Structure formats: C-alpha cells, structure tokens
Amino acid sequence: MARQAAKTLWYDRPRYVFIEFCVEDSTDVKVDLDDYKVVLSCKNADGVELYNEIHFYARVNSKDSQNKRSGRSITLFVRKWKEKVGWPRLTKEEFKPAWLLVDFDNWRDWEGDEEVEAAMVEQYAELMEKVTTKVTPPAMDDLDFTTRVFSCHPAELLTETGGKKETLQGFHVILQDTILFPEGGGQPDDRGFINDIPVLRVIRQGPDALHFIQTPLEPDTEVRLVLDWDRRFDHMQQHSGQHLITALADLMFGFKTTSWELGRQRSTIELDTTSMTAAQVAALEQNVNEKIRARIPVVVRELAVGDPEVEMVRSRGLPDDHTGPVRIISIEGIDANMCCGTHVSNLSDLQVIKLLGTEKGKKNKTNLVFLAGNRVLKALERSHATEKAFTSLLKNGPEEHVEAVKRLQNSVKQFQKSNLNLLRDLAVLTAHSFKTNLAQEPLFVLHRKDGDSEFMNIIANEIGTEKTLIFLSVGDEKAAGLFLLAGPPEMVEKLGPRVAELLEGKGAGKHGRFQGKATRMSRRTEVEALLQECINHKNTEQ
C-alpha cells in the first residue's frame, strides 16, 4: 500500500496544539482521538482503506479537544494535559501503512515567540470558530437537559423560613446524569425543574446527586431538567471570586484560608490571621480587580487520584466517600485548587469584586467579607436608592448627609431630654391632683400612649401605695406596652400574675409593686374591671 504524502501544519501554543492535515479527497473519513494518540482513516478513490496512527508527544485532554473535517483537510484542536509544556515533536510508527506524511520542519514552538503569537491571534480565533464540538452544549441562558430517571424513593426535607421550621414530604430522585449541582465545597446547591416539578434541594450521596421533589417519577422514564441559571451564575461568580481572593491573600500576605461561606447576601472568607489592616484590604482589592481586568482564564481539569500533580495543588483533602477523578480548578499563573464547585471560565466574568472589610472570627481568625459580580451591582443599586431617599428627606446633597444626620441626632437627644423632664413634671402634677381630690377613690387607673417605667414609678411614689391600689400603663392601646400595679403588698402579690395573664405579658413583683411588659394593651379594660371587683370585695368584707 503506497503512502500518500500530505502537507501538515501545526502550532504549539501554551495551552493547545493546533494541527491541520492537508489530505487528498477521500471518503469515510474517521478521526479517533484519545489522550495519547490520534488515528486518522479513510478510503481512497479505489476504495482502499488508508490510515495513520500518530502518537502525541505528551498526554492530552481528549474530552476538551475537538476536530473538524473539511474537503481536503482535517483540523485538530488538542488541549494539553499540562499547560506551558513545550511539544518539540509528534511521533508515529513508520512501519504501518500511512495516509499522511508528517513534515516535522513545519513545527512552531510557543516559547519566545510572542510576535508570532500576536500575529496569529486572529487566525487562531478563526480556527476555533471553524472547529465543531463533539456534543452541542446547551445555551447558557436557557440551560436544559434530557436524561432518564434511575430511581425514586420517599424522603423528607427539613426547611426553615423566617425562623419557622417545617418538614416537607417528598421524594429523592436519582437521575442517570444531571446538570444540577449538589451542595458541597462551600457552595450551595442549584435549583431548577424536572418536568416542570420544582427541585427544592440537591444533595450529594457518594457518587449520586439526590434531587428532592414533591411529585414521584417512574424509574426509566425520560425527563427534562431546567436549571435556574441566575442562581447558578451568582454562585459561580462568588466561588471563583473566593478562589481568586484566597490565592492573592496568600501570595501577598501569607494569609491562609481555613474556610469560607457563600451567603445569600454576602460571602465570607475565614483567614488564618488575627487581624488585617485597612491598607492590606485596599491593596488586596486592587490586585484582585487588576486580575479580573487582565481576563485571566479559569481552567477545569480532571486528574486521576494517583496523579503526582494532585499533590501539588491547594486542597483540604478529599471527602471519605469521594469517587472518580480529582477535579482541579486553575487560575492561570495564580492558583491551582482541588474543588468540586462551579466556576466561571475567565476572570473577566467576575466583573468586579468589592471587599466590604473584616470582622473578628473564631479562634483568633479574621473574616474577610466580599461581594462579587452582580451582587456588587445590586448592592450599588440599593445604596443609590437609599442615597436618593436621604437626599429627598434631608433636602441636601449626598456629601452633606452625614452632617445632617448628626444634627438631627443632637436635636432628637435634646427633644428627648426635654420630653423626659416634662413627663416627670406631669407625673408629679397627676399624683398631686389625685391626692387633693376630696372624693379620693381607693383605686387609681391611668393610661398614656407616651411614657416609660420612670413616669409610672414617679406617680406611684407621689400617690403612695399604703391605702390606694394603682394600675398604670403606657404604650399604644392596640399594641404592646408597659404596665405597673402598685398598692398593698397582699393585694399586689395576689393580683399581679392575673394582670400579666390578662395582658398576655410577663412581669415580676417586689415590695408591693408588680410591673412588666404587655403584648395586648387592648385588654386593659378587663384588668380595670378585675381590680374594681377586688376593691369592692374588700370593702364588703370590712
């Protein structure tokens, strides 16, 4: 079988090797690409089968490699397993029948070739556009996926809303594959739908993802998954932002990250340092955003558990129930970290990161609080709305808000002081008015919307509690407030708990006084009736 010569061009780049084989017109062309070699085969015009097996210089990531067949060419877009490792050659077995003749003189090395790199950027971009993927990925703004149900079993889900806990009855569904991320690695789980049924939680159990839904599904039925992309992208921004901040905090200051939390409103990184100065926070924020503007790629790789490179990346260890390959998230030139979470593909997708400052953490640690991406925009929107409201209320510009509020605070303090003095005077006058009344009653009742415990105690002190039963209350009649029952000790001790019960509040008694808080001041009339009944009963006994 005669070898058919063909011109071959290839370019060795930091992350990829581009190979273009120029071939004769042929039929039944097949490209079999794996991690160590590529096998090219076809039939010529006479129906004779031809093939060429080319072994790569080093291992490649075949899952992230692509190929394209056109009329007289085959283009390979091969992803290197280890980046920035030069490939000086390809290899092939000479004794096998060959369809292609590889010309090693056409090799292009990436090292020290910046001018060529710059000149060929457009050519590579065009080449990437031509290369088709093995499987068409779903659109990121309408992410859905079709799979089959593996199993469905009854389950419970404990939820908490507004401090109220509730146990939901439902089912744990395991699918043949899923696009919904289960909770792990410091990142919350995804949300979405299975056949329009809301997925309320996704948790990991060994190699499986358990999807909690409240409608059962039959095993082996085909279902359609839809992902809540807004939630996923927010988590991607916060998680990749954490990796970047963690790496730079270590590189710049030697601060190691011991844990982190992706919260609903803000995220927190726990640093192994007793303190972090404002200057360090500012420098870190500046460096972080410089890296975002530099559009540095974020690369996801999968390594075997025993691969030596696994030992070289930052990690807190694998879970006990880990199965399958090890997933490495690399920020080019900055960080390599073992992680199971979802991430952006380029730091530019983070948009911006804002460090909100530090808080004292546990065990002499420091918590660094941050926002990334859209959360920064939302926070700015809320801040701007607040600023507009203050401008309208204070009748001045944003730069004068602080001083205006300080003046208002001083005015309020003066007003409160004057109001307190007036209330004290009013309490004394109210008591004197009762004492000078010739038809003085054995029961004194008074309610005011404004007032405090001191106001009530002044009245009780001025009137005296030896012969008079006093019931005072302050607060909104339709809401909560304070109350005071004062008088002969034996009566107060007996009536105090009953008064608190009627007002649906709590109180305590001592030396002829029982006072506390009431949650239903509207039942004050029932208390007055109870006290009057006790006074009448005492008078009858006498």
pLDDT digits (tens, 9 = 90+) for 445-454: 999 888 888 8
Residue 229 C-beta-side C-alpha neighbours within 13 Å: 10
Beta strands 469-475 and 481-486: pairing type?
Answer: antiparallel
Cβ neighbours of residue 289 closer than 8 Å, sequence gap 6 or more? 352, 353
Of 203, 201, 197, 200, the closest CA to residue 216 belongs to 197
Distance CA 332, CA 83 (A): 9
Fold of 420-541: Diaminopimelate Epimerase; Chain A, domain 1 (3.10.310)
What value does the mean pLDDT take over residues 412-439? 85
- Which token pair is 419? 């109001």
373, pLDDT greater than 90: yes
More confidently predicted of 280 and 435: 280
Distance CA 67, CA 58 (A): 18
130, pLDDT greater than 50: no
pLDDT digits (tens, 9 = 90+) for 332-352: 999 988 888 999 999 999 999
136, pLDDT greater than 50: no
Common-topology check for domains 8-130 and 420-541: no
pLDDT digits (tens, 9 = 90+) for 500-527: 999 988 999 888 899 999 988 888 888 8
pLDDT band (50, 70, 90) for residue 361: very high
What value does the mean pLDDT take over residues 2-6? 41
Distance CA 448, CA 355 (A): 48
pLDDT band (50, 70, 90) for residue 121: very low
Q: Write down the pLDDT at residue 317.
A: 60
Look at the chain and count its residues.
542
Q: Write down the pLDDT at residue 359.
A: 95
115, pLDDT greater than 50: no
What value does the mean pLDDT take over residues 173-198? 92
Break the chain into its structural domains and give their ranges: 8-130, 144-227, 233-379, 420-541
Say which CATH architecture domain 8-130 belongs to.
Sandwich (2.60)
Which CATH number describes the domain made up of 233-379?
3.30.980.10
Q: Write down the pLDDT at residue 358.
A: 96
Q: Write down the pLDDT at residue 310.
A: 67
Q: Write down the pLDDT at residue 126.
A: 46
- Which token pair is 315? 């990690």
pLDDT digits (tens, 9 = 90+) for 187-204: 899 999 999 999 999 999
pLDDT band (50, 70, 90) for residue 102: very low
Beta strands 197-199 and 192-194: pairing type?
Answer: antiparallel
pLDDT digits (tens, 9 = 90+) for 452-497: 888 999 999 988 888 889 999 999 888 889 999 999 888 898 899 9
Q: Write down the pLDDT at residue 240.
A: 96
> Which pTM value belongs to this model?
0.58
- Given CATH 2.60.40.1180, say whether it is the number of domain 144-227: no
Contact 45, 151 (CB under 8 A): no
277, pLDDT greater than 70: yes
Q: Hey, which of 32-36, 200-204, 313-317, 450-454 has the most confident mean pLDDT?
A: 200-204
Q: What letter would DSSP give residue 320? A: T
Q: For tokens 């068409």, what's the residue?
A: 136
pLDDT band (50, 70, 90) for residue 151: very high
Q: Tell me which amino acid residue 366 is.
A: T
3-state helix/strand/coil string of 467-514? CCEEEEEEECCCCCEEEEEECCHHHHHHHHHHHHHHCCCEEEEECCEE
Q: Write down the pLDDT at residue 70.
A: 67
Q: Write down the pLDDT at residue 153.
A: 96
Q: Write down the pLDDT at residue 436.
A: 83
| Helix H or strand E encompassing 459 | helix 453-463
∠ CA 121-127-132 to the nearest 5 degrees? 140
The mean pLDDT value of the chain amounts to 82
More confidently predicted of 77 and 217: 217
